[in-house]
Structure 1
Amino acid sequence: MNSKRFNECLRVIRWTPINIASALQCDLSWIEALEAGNEEVPEGLATWLEHLAKVHEAAPPPKTFAGHRAKL
C-alpha cells in the first residue's frame, strides 16, 4: 500500500491520524510518516485498512441527520 492509498483509506473510514494512532496504540509520528510515504505500510495494517475501507464504502452512513440533536 502506498501513502496515497493509505490516506484514501483513512478518508473513507473517516479517521484522522490521531484516530488511527489511538486505535493502533502507536506513536502519531509513525502514522504521519506513513501518510507522507516516509515509512512503508506493514502488510497486515494495509490488509486491515483495505478491509475497513471496503466495508465503509459498501455501507456508508445516512446522508444527514440535520436538525437532530444529541440528548445529554
Structure 2
Amino acid sequence: MTPERFNECLRHIRWTPINIASALQCDLSWIEALEVGNADVPEELAKWLEKLAQMHEANPPPVTYRVNRLP
C-alpha cells in the first residue's frame, strides 16, 4: 500500500492519525511514518484498511441527520 492510498483510506474512514493509532494501540510516530512512506504498511493492516475504506465508500452516512439541514 502506498502512502497516498494509506492516507486516502484514512480519509474515507474519517480517521485522523491519532484515531488509527488509538484503534491499533500503537505509537503515533509509526502511523506518521506510514503516512509519509518512511515505513511500509504491513500487508494485514493494508487489507484491513482497504476493507474499511470500501465499506465507508459504499455506505456514506445518511444526510438526514446533519445539523444544518432544513426540513
The normalised TM-score by structure 1 is 0.89
Residue aligned with 1:15, SS: coil
Residue aligned with 2:10, SS: helix
Residue aligned with 1:60, SS: coil
What is the aligned partner in structure 1 of residue 67 from structure 2? Answer: 66
- TM-superposition CA deviations, 1:33-56 (whole Å, max 9, x none): 000100000000000000000000
Q: What letter corresponds to residue 36 of structure 1 in structure 2?
A: V
- Describe how 1:38-57 pairs up with structure 2 within 5 A: 38-57=38-57
Comparing both structures, which one devotes a greater share of its residues to helix?
A: 2
Shift of 1:67: 4.7
Task: Give the aligned length.
Answer: 68
What is the aligned partner in structure 2 of residue 28 from structure 1? Answer: 28
Q: Where do 5+ consecutive residues of structure 2 fail to align?
A: none
**Would you identify which runs of 4 or more consecutive aligned residues in structure 1 move more than 6 Å?**
none
What is the aligned partner in structure 1 of residue 7 from structure 2? Answer: 7
- Percent identical among aligned pairs is 72
**CA-atom RMSD in angstroms:** 1.4
